[in-house]
Amino acid sequence: MSTEENTNEVEVPETEAGISFDTFGLKREILQSIAYAGFKVASPIQAKAIPVILEGRDVVGQAHTGTGKTAAFGLPAMNNMHLKGGVEMLVITPTRELANQVSDELFQYGKKLGIRTVTVYGGSSYGRQIGLIERGAQVVIATPGRLMDILSRDMLPNFAPTTVILDEADEMLDMGFLDDINEIFTYLPQERQTLLFSATMPEPIKQLAKRILVNPEFISITKGETTNKDIAQQYYVINENERDDAIIRLLDSEETDKVIVFCRTKKEVDRLSNVLSSVGYGAKGLHGDMEQRQRETVIKGFKESAIDVLIATDVAARGIHVNNISHVINYHIPFDPESYVHRIGRTGRAGKSGQAITLVTPEEFKELQRIQKEVGAEMRLATIQGGSDLDDSGREYLAEQIRDIHIHNDAADMLEYMGDMDKTLLLEKLLSRLIGQEQNNVGSQIGFDQNTVDEMIQGYNGQQKATRNNNRRKKRR
């Protein structure tokens, strides 16, 4: 299949949100499930995609995490089902975590219609998964590798879904599944409705869409809406050696529920999770070198609040959809604007507010400005203040320092100068001096204020201008 050149592309501004689900003409049972799920009005991607999918059209939908994509394709696709036996709907997702998440969501939407869902992924029994499909499942949610195995071995000879959805297509590209996806479509019926949803549209995904969709409607969220209005975005300009201290201070000072801290490397994830665990936080790392069982244990613990802080790489966090994430913290600035939007979209979901915090050094500040400009985000500069009182760990630290102090040669002579002062009072005064010094350290500010940042920018711009002028002079020579 190939797309025709005169495809329709529609950008959905924020003003088109707020449409009631009652206006789409969905079945009563679907509307009951929507009400049970607590949905009030359609999100922008839902408002535009649902009517088109109900008409049977192919769709390319571009929207980021947390915008309601699963409901955007799931509700109309289930509404169109005939329910006369056999699999009618196939959803392909990049990871088993996302497959389970989508499966749970679709089950809730379709249960009043008696729709049965099966999740298919590697690491579980072929026989059990195929048995569940053959016993009457109408919806299959699958990862590419396991689905490719099943179809290439002809283990489901009557497998002919009429609606096929690619969810998070760009993540499947990043994870190397593009060849599998192309081959999977050789086993699927030519007459079908195909829906492709992706946060970004790199060229290989555009080419894939041309191959597998027919005259699709393109629906994309406009630039001004790429970041959720319910997410408060802050940044802190710090020195490189202050990152760990900044994270700890933020976790101490912010009212947090669940927190994801994004790091760039696996090594950084392991180190930071150890640092946070050592100071008493329920923190665990998540990265690609972990075994699947270990990974599932961490994700389950995070969902069930046994783990408060998840430290993860971008790749490892793909497909994780957890409710009540109050904060996303970028330990390092993301490499590109799309990664930034993808990261922070994990908070501020389902109508709840969220906090997105980014740590940057003065050298990285220009990159932050570029991201801010490209995504249209309103980011506020902030500083991190320490506490005014010592906590138990601070008292223990100070006591240990006092025990280790070497007695100065003049200490005995100084006692003579104190005259007949009560020794307990003298000790309390000396301790007060030490505590005051420790409070100054604990209460010191992390992060540069606006005036300092402005001076840095001016200095940086002046340095860049001087460099350009020097280069021009060298060329003239």
The predicted-structure confidence for 208-221, as pLDDT tens digits, reads as follows: 999 999 999 999 87
CATH topology of domain 8-225: Rossmann fold (3.40.50)
Residue 67's pLDDT band (boundaries 50, 70, 90)?
Answer: confident
Question: What is the arithmetic mean of pLDDT over 148-160?
Answer: 92
pLDDT at residue 389, as a whole number? 56
Lowest mean pLDDT among 39-53, 158-172, 343-357, 413-427: 343-357
The residues of the chain that CATH labels 3.40.50.300 are 8-225, 231-381
CA distance 394 to 2: 66
Q: DSSP labels for 443-458?
A: T--BS--HHHHHHHHH
pLDDT at residue 15, as a whole number? 36
Q: Record the tokens describing residue 407, joined without a space.
A: 């007695």
Whether 441 has a pLDDT exceeding 80, the answer reads no
pLDDT at residue 1, as a whole number? 47
Whether 417 has a pLDDT exceeding 50, the answer reads yes
Whether 227 has a pLDDT exceeding 60, the answer reads no
Check residue 321 and report its DSSP letter: -
Q: Does domain 231-381 have CATH number 3.40.50.970?
A: no
pLDDT at residue 435, as a whole number? 72
Crossing angle of helices 96-110/28-37, nearest 10°?
120
Whether 4 has a pLDDT exceeding 60, the answer reads no
Whether 453 has a pLDDT exceeding 80, the answer reads no
State the distance between the two ends of the chain, measured CA to CA, in whole angstroms: 59
Whether 471 has a pLDDT exceeding 70, the answer reads no
How far, CA to CA in Å, does 342 sit from each of 83, 197, 227, 345, 350?
A: 36, 14, 9, 5, 16
CA distance 455 to 459: 6
The predicted-structure confidence for 176-191, as pLDDT tens digits, reads as follows: 899 999 999 999 999 9
Give the 3-state secondary structure of residue 408: coil
pLDDT at residue 3, as a whole number? 43
Residue 11's pLDDT band (boundaries 50, 70, 90)?
Answer: very low
Whether 59 has a pLDDT exceeding 90, the answer reads yes
Which pairing describes strands 231-237 and 379-381: parallel, antiparallel, or unpaired? Answer: parallel
Neighbour-count burial for 431-451, b at 16+ CB within 10 Å, e otherwise: eeeebeebbeebeeebbbeee
Residue 79's pLDDT band (boundaries 50, 70, 90)?
Answer: very high
pLDDT at residue 459, as a whole number? 67
Whether 152 has a pLDDT exceeding 90, the answer reads yes
Contact 355, 234 (CB under 8 A): yes
